[in-house]
Structure 1
Amino acid sequence: MKHALMLAALATPLVALAEEPQPSFTGEAELGATITTGNTKTTSVKGRVDMRHNIMDWDNQYLLEGLFKEDEDIRTAENYRGLLQGNYRFTPTNYMFINLTHEVDKFAGFDSKTTGAAGYGHRFFEQGSTILDVEIGPGVQSIKYSEPNDMRETDWVAHGVLNFATDISENATFKQIFVVDAGKKVTGRSETSVSASLIGALAMKVALVVKYDSEPQPTFEKTDTETNVTLLYKF
């Protein structure tokens, strides 16, 4: 009897540990490339890694993406973007968020743009595969320009995000993400995508990215668009 009680005492913490939800990682990696040689020399590469880490009441996101284009040995596009975000859920539909985004894109009229924000998020709708999340809160945005004289602008902004996703068939998913930062000027990013499963965890993805700047540098347009076709792997 004494030995049985000792074994039970030793087993209790192990059982509790087994029952406790374990941290989990999920994510997506995508890659698309076009390379031509001969009469026409063109190189285009698009890559992206988006990971989610769920632990206790925290839902964390780590995203890194880049685009590179070169025509006839002349670079025509090069941008990189990283995002870190943590969501603390205090109910199934309500959460507080904090994030940091850094973007490098000299072909958009600036060297780098960094935005940090925190605020409140709410899931307005969830049914099956369909979700609609909205986030809003204050933030700070800092933009560095190479001309004139490495000028840097820093401004308070109102940060807003709309995130919608739904399955449009058994094998296809539609996603729409809007991000807006409004201060002395307004910058925004929209990504509309459709992905279709090919085999197993591999899918084909088509995405349209629209970037907006209400007050761009001279000679630059207010709106940039980017269309990508990539292979997507879910893990």
Structure 2
Amino acid sequence: MAIARRCGLGGLLVVLGIVPLMAAEEADEASASQWDGAAELGFIMNRGNTDSDSLNAQLRVENSHRKWRHRGEAKVLRISEEDTTTAESYEVSGRSEYLLDDNDYLFGTLRYESDEFAGYDQRTTEVLGYGHQFLKKENMHLKGEFGAGGRQTEFVDGTDDNESIVRVGLDYKWQISKTSSFSEVVFVEHGSNNTYTESVTALTAKINNSLAMKVSYTIKNNSDPQAGFETTDTRTAVTLVYDF
């Protein structure tokens, strides 16, 4: 009986020792994984001599876990007149990064678009590449990327195009003050039939801990657009941003 009690006491001590270790490991796992996100909404409604609506919405979700960084985004732009949609664009994208060290990383991106403004019904782009952090200060960051992949496009006239591409990009962020920030993201995807360039310049001012106002200017350029479409689209947007 004494032996049984000693064994039972020993087992209890082992369990009491394991439980805190398991709890500590779970806490470390939880602290290593961080979530972040933001939702943006801009809406313009005109009534009277002009009857038109414009909707600009975006959603971004990010997760960081040890050496991995993941991001998912969804964007919608729709313009309608007289209760009839005249043009719209949708974009859904996913991105993963694997950190090699403090300044270098590998990345993969997948983007799906439907953009009537640019003349294509749908476009899918896949890229794998390498990125480097050129500037890393307390209030300023600059990184550049180089990669290669493929692009498949179906145009609104029924034709399609598949091509290999090379991608280069720059991502700059400047925290001007505690309540305001500036960012510039630009990338070029070059293929044998078309070169696509996108630049997004944004200035954000915080209203409180969760809400902010954002003014952005977007330039999208296709070097060889479909007949009847311009090479360049520009968009100026004022949106309300909710961070979560």
**Normalised-by-shorter TM-score class:** over 0.9
Cα deviations by residue, 1:107-136 (Å, 9 ceiling, x for unpaired): 211111110000101111110121111111
RMSD: 1.6
Which of 163, 166, 191 matches 1:155? 163
Which of 115, 134, 154 matches 1:124? 134
Q: Is the 8 A contact 1:69 1:75 kept in 2?
A: yes
CA drift of 1:40 comes to 2.2
Which of 69, 82, 91 matches 2:79? 69
The 3 A distance-change label for structure 1 pair 113 and 7 is same
Q: Distance in 2 between matches of 1:16 and 1:108?
A: 50
- The code of the aligned residue for 2:239 comes to T
Q: Distance in 2 between matches of 1:219 and 1:39?
A: 28
CA drift of 1:200 comes to 2.4
SS in 1 for 2:16: helix
Whether 2:207 is the aligned partner of 1:205: answer no
TM-score by length of 2: 0.90
SS in 1 for 2:224: coil
Q: Distance in 2 between matches of 1:233 and 1:25?
A: 15
- The code of the aligned residue for 1:13 comes to M
Which of 183, 191, 201 matches 1:183? 191
Cα deviations by residue, 1:114-173 (Å, 9 ceiling, x for unpaired): 1000010111111012111111111101110132xx221000000122111111223111
Aligned residues: 233
SS in 2 for 1:178: strand
Q: Is the 8 A contact 1:32 1:45 kept in 2?
A: yes
Q: Is the 8 A contact 2:201 2:218 kept in 1?
A: yes
Q: Which has the larger radius of gyration?
A: 2
CA drift of 1:194 comes to 0.3
Q: Is the 8 A contact 1:76 1:107 kept in 2?
A: no
Q: What residue number does 2:104 align with? A: 94
Identify unmatched segments of 5+ residues in structure 2.
1-8
TM-score by length of 1: 0.93
The 3 A distance-change label for structure 1 pair 70 and 89 is same
Q: Distance in 2 between matches of 1:115 and 1:160?
A: 14
Identify unmatched segments of 5+ residues in structure 1.
none
Q: What residue number does 1:109 align with? A: 119
Q: Is the 8 A contact 2:139 2:176 kept in 1?
A: no
SS in 2 for 1:199: coil
